Structures are given as structure tokens and as C-alpha cells.
Amino acid sequence: MTSNFLELKGLYKTFDNITALNNVSLNVSKGEVIFIIGPSGCGKSTLLRAVNWLTPPDKGEVWLEGNLVGSSSSKLTIKEAKLLNNLRAKMGMVFQQFNVWPHLNVLENVVRAQVVVAKRNRKEAESKALKILDEVGLTEKVDEWPDNLSGGQKQRLAIARSLAMDPILMLLDEPTSALDPELVAEVLSVLKRLVDKGMTMLVVTHELGFASKFGDRIVFMDGGEIIEEGPPEKILRTPKTDRLKQFLEKLNITSLKG
Ligand code: ADP
């Protein structure tokens, strides 16, 4: 048993001869908001996708609320695989490229998985969808088609779709990177609401300002490894390793220091 809400133990992942994750371990408490930063190709996405087993690691274990989400060593029966799928469904995932169904209108995007996967009745699913769409500021768009939404609206819809499944952990992979700068704030304000509600979140981001304001911890990765982690203040203002110093210098955030 573990007292941690989420526990990543010794995760390894290679693609051909590239080591994307090299012995990554991380403990996350309930309600913690963790931002993952690091240069392109350092393994941030792979780590996030390993947490819900979307990309199963070659070695290592993931535990959620004391339950094994996946272990590369286990051979599963169908029943065990089903139980694991239920566990993985508790983790909502939001991608850089807004993951919405183009053939369904806004309301249906948030209703459909509730009815099909969570087996909720339509009325219940609709009322939940309307409530969540209101929370992400899309009430006026419920009848709209995704193609007619801005990038920021699409991303808020993707977040709403995820939230409708009652996740206990949200995994967000560069949720604002594909957005025009003027649309970033509206998505960050939805994320801020989730922070305020106490949602446990792992967020891959380049938004260091947001991370420093709302993160409990920042994890800096390089070369598939966690190089440094700690409170934003410490990571951004007093980096210990040359690798983190260089990364921050490249991002030109010297103004945050001192
Ligand atoms: P980041 O999110 O930090 O940019 P990734 O986790 O996407 O990094 O990638 C880590 C490394 O693994 C990179 O070298 C990338 O090219 C490689 N990689 C990631 N996914 C795949 C894949 N499906 N097939 C082959 N190589 C991959």
C-alpha cells in the first residue's frame, strides 16, 4: 500500500534506440498540481502517456490510489484488463491538438461518452454536460459544430468532455501550445478553475508564468530523466543544475530570477 495518490515507479521507455524515459519515479499527492517542463524531445509527453498507460512503459509501475494501473511485468486476464481500463478511465487526458469529435455538436461531444462508456441515461448526461459547458464558458455554443469554434473554444470543449467522465486526475499535454496567443488566457482561466477546485493535475507546459503561479511543484526533465523537481520558486529562481540553468536561460526568463 502507498500513502501517495499517484505513484510512478522506475518508468523506462525506449523507441527503437531512443530512450524516452529513463528510470522516472514521482510521487503525487491528492490535489497537487505539477507542471512538467523541459526541452523538446526530453520525454514529457511519453511520461504523461505512460501515467494512464496510453503508452505502456517497458519497465516500471504506476499506482493510483493504491491500485496498480499497470505493470509491464504482468500478464493480464481479460477480467484484470477490464479492471485496469476502469482505473485508467479515471484519468482525463487533454492533448495539444484539441481532441473533439468533429461530427458531433458541442453538447453531443460532452454527452456521448457519458452515455456510451459511463452508461448514464441521456437526461442525466445532458444535464451534467450543460453544467460543465457552463463552467468552461461554452453555454452559448451548445448547438454549434466544432469546426465553427475557435481553437480556445475547442480546447475548452475538449476539457469539458474529459471532465464529464468525473476524472480524479487530469493529464494535460501542452494544452495551450497550439493556440493563438490571444486565446491562451481563456484556456488558462479554465485550468485555474480546476486548480481552485482541488483537481490533481499533471501539466506539460511552456507557460512558466502560469506554472510558477499555480503549480505546487515543477518537474524539470531532460534526456528522459527527472533532473530537478521542487516548488516553482526554487526551480525557477535557484536552479541547481547547469542543464536547468541553460534551459531557463534559453527561455529567456532571467527576469524571474533575483
Ligand atoms: P517531449 O514531449 O518532451 O517533446 P516526447 O516524450 O514526445 O518528448 O519524446 C521523447 C523521445 O521519444 C523523442 O526523442 C521522440 O522523438 C521519441 N518518441 C516519442 N514517441 C515516439 C514514437 N511513438 N515512436 C518513436 N519515437 C518516439
Instruction: State whether the beta carbon of 117 lies less than 6 angstroms from ligand 1.
Output: no
In whole angstroms, what separates CA 240 from the centre of its chain?
A: 26
pLDDT in tens, the chain (258 residues): 446 899 999 999 999 999 999 999 999 999 999 999 999 999 999 999 999 999 999 999 999 999 998 876 557 777 777 888 888 889 999 999 989 999 999 999 999 989 998 899 999 999 999 999 999 999 999 999 999 999 999 999 999 999 999 999 999 999 999 999 899 999 999 999 999 999 999 999 999 999 999 999 999 999 999 999 999 999 999 999 999 999 999 886 544 544
Alpha helical stretches, state H, 4-89: 44-51, 78-88
Q: Ligand 1, atom 15: nearest CA belongs to which residue?
A: 41
Q: Is 94 helix (H, G, I), strand (E, B) or coil?
A: strand
Measured CA to CA in angstroms, residue 105 lies from 137, 139, 157 at distances of: 16, 13, 10
Distance between CA 104 and CA 161 in Å, rounded?
12
Residue nearest to atom 16 of ligand 1 (CA): 41
Exposed/middle/buried for residue 105 (C-beta within 10 Å: 0-12, 13-18, 19+): middle
- Cβ(100)–Cβ(136) under 8 Å? no
Strand order in the sheet with 6-15: 18-28, 6-15, 59-64, 67-71
**Rounded (to 5) percent helix, strand, coil in the chain:** 40, 25, 35
Length of the chain: 258
Q: What is the pLDDT of residue 77?
A: 76
- Which single residue is written with the C-alpha cell 484484470? 80
Q: 177: Cβ below 6 Å to ligand 1?
A: no
Rg of the chain on CA atoms, in Å: 19
**What's the start-to-end Cα distance of the chain, in Å?**
42
